[in-house]
Structure 1
């Protein structure tokens, strides 16, 4: 049985590098340019897993020698068994993450392939609320906020792709020492309308983690 070690965002990063190499192969005839891109692709993927050795490392780095679209598809397919699943979560656990919301509408967990998500999110259209769950420092944390579609395309702060966005705002839990009882501070940013698509594009967790830390204080 394969030992899982590739997280969703890392798989997306590998795919991004592989796609760029394939595009270069299709559009460039200069052998020096091709060799440079092959070496860069190999180096970038190797940097993700500096401690990886043996046959698995060879399997990861064989991308540099691929030539056809079929080769690249097979390469990525062979990496899927190594994917680390998002932590299993139950409806009861989700309810505990949002204890103030007694009428919390939950997602259909049975329909989610947890290999392909870096964060779990769902919308409550009736209240314009978005719920986001993320494993921060080994513990699941939940963020609840307003979700307002912008009806325009721009760059998502999580996946950095040019997509249809919504403004996601949450109330910060951090309060100044002498704050008045009615003090509040909101934290907001522009997020993909389609959480599934966002999860399949994210290659760096740092922006999402910074957002969560700003909300949680």
Structure 2
């Protein structure tokens, strides 16, 4: 009202939905659209596994794939992608029996049967070390060097995990200052969808109410 057109007085603001864990979980559990937005990408990425080539003995690939199935590696990666998209970040921790999780991972020290699978921890189960970042040049440069697990986590409670032992999945990557505001995590993919979801749900709710009223009138 009182403007030349709808753009004259328009603006954008933050809603910070990614920080509202309970609301995100309520949306994921109750909205089919939200569930699809989170699940479809993860399911498509992990349902077929992978084809391993280049081994001297092709039967070794079958052994590796069978072991990954037994350890439910693809299921855990699927969960990591889902919770990374829902919350803005999640970790898949490599469980190496007999090793200290706070030390850098050295593949040469991993013996037969020591790898026990992956443990999925979402961003609300760990605290990144914001003052201790990776300083070695490479893809992890500037990211947290350690992740401290909270006492009420599903596992590895109160332990410190070195970044080399995790597979990290972010949701929507953010510009630097916004990432700082989110403790160096990303943003939930649902945050960008919330306004469209509200319009979608409202429209279908109104249409549903009108449909029910018409049936009620006919019955009367």
Same fold (TM > 0.5): no
Q: TM-score, normalised by structure 2?
A: 0.25
Q: TM-score, normalised by structure 1?
A: 0.25
Determine which structure has more spread, i.e. the larger CA radius of gyration. Answer: 2
Considering fraction of residues, name the structure with more strand.
1
